[in-house]
Amino acid sequence: MIVGNKIDALDTMYPSYGEKVVNALYYSRPHSTMYGYVISGDVTFPNGNIAVEGQYFCFWAAKSESIRTTGETVIFTRLGFKGQNTIGGPIEDSGRLVYIDQCSDSLLVYPPRMGDPSLNQLHFPSGVKQSYHIHPSIRLGVVVRGNGYACIKKSYDEEQIELKPGVMFCIEEREQHRFMTNKEEMTVIAFHPDGDWGPTDHNHTMLNRTYITKKE
């Protein structure tokens, strides 16, 4: 696991990187999509839209563009993908979907098509000790509420990394890990650069439950 305010995951299957931006003018890379969460202050985008504290966003940049931040914002960038601009939030206290070991999650920014990136809210109740697990691709995340630990499986031991609000991290491809909480709950905003879920041309909400009654 990589922890820091700048995380380079460009040399992976789905080139991405994460940065924490504090009171600064931030410049995007051309042909990239920025996913993020406003920890404090606000973010102003080139199109004039503003995301405020507690909101999440997705913004596509066809060229190098600047966004202005006041306060603290975490940005996860996926190169070579055209996302759909959106601002949402605030996030809820827990997720809408069941996850492993009594945890829950919500899909914040959905994949426009199957396999595309997504931004998620992951909630850990107090007293959680997750099962060890892996993911085929990286996960970029930031803690936005509560406290806990990330545990990385080693040959004969595990490394524990303390997690608290504002800590940004990257789980590497196929890295054995789990999360733990003690008396406090914890909420993480997690970016997935790919996936195996999402709508297709043959399976999406507009098409489903549409029945042609008579052909002319």
Same domain, 76 and 119: no
In 23-96, which ranges are E strands?
25-27, 32-38, 42-44, 50-52, 56-61, 66-70, 72-79, 86-88
pLDDT in tens, 160-192: 999 999 999 999 999 999 999 999 999 999 999
Q: Tell me, yes or no, whether 202 lies in a domain.
A: no
Same domain, 84 and 107: no
Domain of residue 31, residue span: 2-88
Token readout for 102 is 């009594």
Q: How far apart are CA 118 and CA 85, in angstroms?
A: 13
Q: Tell me, yes or no, whether 63 lies in a domain.
A: yes
Query: Among residues of the chain, what percentage have pLDDT more than 90?
Result: 95
Q: Tell me, yes or no, whether 207 lies in a domain.
A: no
What's the total number of domains in the chain?
2
Question: What's the whole-model pTM score?
Answer: 0.95
User: Which burial class, exposed, middle or buried, applies to 181 when counting CB atoms under 10 A from its CB (0-12, 13-18, 19+)?
Assistant: buried
pLDDT in tens, 135-159: 999 999 999 999 999 999 987 788 9
Same domain, 39 and 78: yes
Per-residue CA distances from 21 to 4, 34, 164, 194 (Å): 12, 13, 17, 24
Same domain, 113 and 187: yes
Q: Tell me, yes or no, whether 205 lies in a domain.
A: no
Q: Tell me, yes or no, whether 134 lies in a domain.
A: yes
Same domain, 74 and 119: no
Same domain, 169 and 84: no
Contact between 97 and 106 (Cβ < 8 Å): yes
pLDDT at residue number 214: 80
Same domain, 102 and 80: no
Q: Tell me, yes or no, whether 215 lies in a domain.
A: no
What is the 3 state secondary structure string of 81-92?
CCCCCEEECCCC
pLDDT in tens, 28-60: 999 999 999 999 999 999 999 999 999 999 999
